[in-house]
Amino acid sequence: METYFHIDTLGHNWRKNDMIFVGNKTNNYWKSFVKKSDLIEINGENHEVFKVTKAAYEAYAKIHPAPLKMNGYHFNILNSLKESIDSLGNSIKLNRELIFESIRKEFYPESPSREKCIWLIPYNNDSLLFWNKILNSKIQSKIFKVHVDGKIHRASQEWLIGGTISVNEWSYLAHNYWKGTNSGNIQDEILFTGTMKIIEEVTLPNKDVHN
């Protein structure tokens, strides 16, 4: 078994020597795409971000007056821009995940799926500090030292950064991601499916970890 860290942001009540099997169900990251829509609440009703911000733009530009159902919308240009950008960012992530998973299934089926994996961190102080800072800026979490036995894929984050790009460009990023191109630095992410054993819960800094 190999040793890694895992930062748990879901509040699992894991204890020492617990054995967790990963890979038989969709993870919460993918579930967020399946269940969550980008909506804006206006007067107690939810509306699609695209429709709201498009109508707001047409009102700002005096192309069409805002529909009556938008009474109560803030009609602040900067806020509308941020709503559009945030929604576009979520759509880009969804495109990425669908294309990456399609490429994985066709060319790299031996690699763990991003749809059913758990994310690990190298057993390295610098990597742990890097990821702990990012994840704990969003939600309070626990850090576990774990032993794992199963499928592992280490990838550089640079291949996850896309945009409003072509399918060919997404394919290029996906292939480099699944090939592990340029991996090996502290910012890498590690995908895992298989059996994970909880060794202990740790706190920062962990002086027992050797870089």
Nearest to 145 by CA among 114, 129, 122: 122
pLDDT of residue 143: 93
Nearest to 3 by CA among 104, 117, 127: 127
Residue ranges in the chain whose pLDDT is less than 70: 137-140, 205-211
pLDDT of residue 108: 98
How far apart CA 10 and CA 146 sit, in angstroms, is 16
pLDDT of residue 35: 80
pLDDT of residue 209: 52
Quick check: 122 and 188 in contact, CB under 8 A?
yes
pLDDT of residue 134: 84
Residue ranges and CATH numbers for the domains of the chain are 2-36+90-202 (3.20.170.10)
pLDDT of residue 97: 97
pLDDT of residue 139: 61
pLDDT of residue 135: 82
Rg of the chain on CA atoms, in Å: 21
Nearest to 17 by CA among 208, 144, 154, 199: 199
Total Cβ atoms within 10 A of residue 70: 19
